[in-house]
Amino acid sequence: MRNALALAAAAFAMAASVSAETLTADQLVARATAVFANKEGPKDPLLGTYNGAPVSVLVACGDICPAYTVRVIHYDVPAGKNCAALGGSDMSVIVPYGIAAGPESFCIPDPLVKKDLWSDHPYRNTTM
């Protein structure tokens, strides 16, 4: 049963990455600087592909939402995949979970690293 679930998840991920929009560096930057209009992250974290690899967004919130929400746009890199080979950089981001927060590693596309847009607070210009 576990193998069947793993195969189904892998097939879904492959289908999603095949049908996903191919993103440009400018589109990645635009998505990383967009302020969210609503107080929830996207229902589908897959943004598209960049350099042939799927790119997703993580939206994580701690105990005081949306004030401490963190957004990280990153490659969905399979285990053992070399981040640098995709044109990315391994970065550590403090991610909130409940009342705590801790570091998590992500493979960030280089256009976002170069502009220091690898982690932000998407609700910074909205009222709570």
User: How big is the chain, counted in residues?
Assistant: 128
Taking only the tens place, the pLDDT of each residue in 17-42 is 445 799 999 999 998 888 766 556 67
Least confident of 8-17, 32-41, 48-57: 8-17
Q: Do residues 105 and 90 lie in contact, with contact meaning Cβ atoms separated by under 8 Å?
A: yes
Q: State residue 66 phi and psi, 5-degree precision.
A: -95, 10
List residues bridging with 102 in a β-sheet: 95
pLDDT range class, residue 8, cuts 50, 70, 90? very low
pLDDT over 80 (residue 80): no
pLDDT over 90 (residue 78): no
Question: Is this structure's pTM higher than 0.85?
Answer: no
Q: Where are the domains of the chain?
A: 2-114
Instruction: List the beta strands (DSSP E) in the chain.
Output: 46-50, 53-60, 70-75, 88-97, 100-109
Chain center to CA of 5: 23
CA-to-CA separations, 34 to 71, 90, 105, in angstroms, rounded = 11, 23, 23
Chain center to CA of 44: 11
Residue in the structure block whose two tokens are 């992250």: 41
